[in-house]
Structure 1
């Protein structure tokens, strides 16, 4: 059992990348659609996976960071695990606004289709 665990741990360690952020760094925040809801067999490939960038205020513990969130996201706690953050390497003018997305307190949003492009009727034989 120890041998198997050691093999799996070395597999994970090779792919893990340490993320260390400093105060005043800019990060993108991960958002996701509601789990289990699929609209017309598509996940919405063009829906944004990240919003931001937001400024890092401080580090909380070993793997959490406190962000400077805008007033539109005042219902969301400003502390996030590092797995929900991506360092923003773009210039300071780049911005993905959260205004077009209705986010809940768990950073989920509901995908809804704009139009139905095609439909198909199937007849079952008995």
Structure 2
């Protein structure tokens, strides 16, 4: 039972379905064209939603078909570096990196694999969704050694800044905000990010020296 029906003891009647639920009522002739137009718009919206869902499903099915591994294959596991600043709480992330490679022990269901992990990763569950795995193709720029980062159970780790490469001031209507461009450990120069200088000074005072 819908909340509206439980509260008022009858089903909710929207303008579109006035003639389908409950007693029929004579509608003003001026309302009929508006209702017909609304019904047509709803049909168009539903068709577009179905089209979008079908497109997304086709893409997802295609991706799943490509991401299939065999027992004994070597794969990387995707990990997500978070910037250790206030902006990290807002969900801003750096480019994902991969750790490994690790050997696949067995397939679990249709969308997951159990990996052979080192003892240093014993607190991390060793079954991973297929979308977190990447077939082993050597690429040193995207591989991390687990001893270089401190992973948590969600496969994220806090990245550390190594250098300030530039400065600028962001002009707002009533104030100015000093920004610094930060180079992050394990990331290329192209991935440097602009951060609020005050936040970085509080979090990483050693970065600013004297």
TM-score normalised according to structure 2 size = 0.47
Does residue 149 of structure 2 align to residue 105 of structure 1? Answer: no
* Residue 135 (structure 2) aligns with: 87
For the pair shown, which has the larger CA radius of gyration, 1 or 2? Answer: 2
Structure with greater strand share of residues: 2
* Residue 7 (structure 1) aligns with: 51
Structure 1's consecutive aligned runs of 4 or more residues displaced over 3 angstroms after TM superposition are 42-45, 117-125
Unaligned runs of 5+ in 2: 1-44, 177-210
Greater relative contact order: 1 or 2 (C-alpha under 8 angstroms, separation 6 or more)? 1
Residues 48-67 of structure 1 show CA distances to partners (whole Å, capped at 9, x for unaligned) of 61111100000111111100
The partner residue of 1:69 within 99, 102, 117 is: 117
TM-score normalised according to structure 1 size = 0.74
Distance change in 2, residues 1:20/1:73 (3 Å): same
Structure with greater helix share of residues: 2
* Residue 42 (structure 2) aligns with: none
User: SS of 1:117's equivalent?
Assistant: strand
Quote how far apart the aligned CAs of 1:112 are. 1.8
* Residue 37 (structure 1) aligns with: 88
User: SS of 2:88's equivalent?
Assistant: coil
Equivalent pairs, count? 116
